Amino acid sequence: MKVQIDSGRCSGHGRCYDLAPELFGEDEEGYGQALGGGIVPPGSADAARLAEANCPERAINVLEEG
């Protein structure tokens, strides 16, 4: 599983790095960044889906394959 942030949509609400800090971080302006190349380690799949479901801008994509 992988996560991606659409930087064209991200507005820096920070819900992803609040809810899944193991998968997302902030850049120096507060925009979200997928950590570790967006690879979701085993055990973090639910956190990835939670971050996706709570992004107000629908900027997060969870790719089940990959």
Q: Would strands 32-34 and 2-5 be described as parallel, antiparallel, or unpaired?
A: unpaired
Told to check if 11 binds other proteins by CB under 8 A, we report yes
Whether 59 contacts 4, CB under 8 Å: no
Q: Which of 12, 36, 41, 63 binds other proteins (CB under 8 A)?
A: 12
Residues 20-59 that bind other proteins (CB under 8 A): 26, 28-30, 50, 53-58
Give the list of residues 6+ apart from residue 21 with CB closer than 8 angstroms, or none: none
Binding site for other proteins (CB under 8 A): 11-14, 17-18, 26, 28-30, 50, 53-58
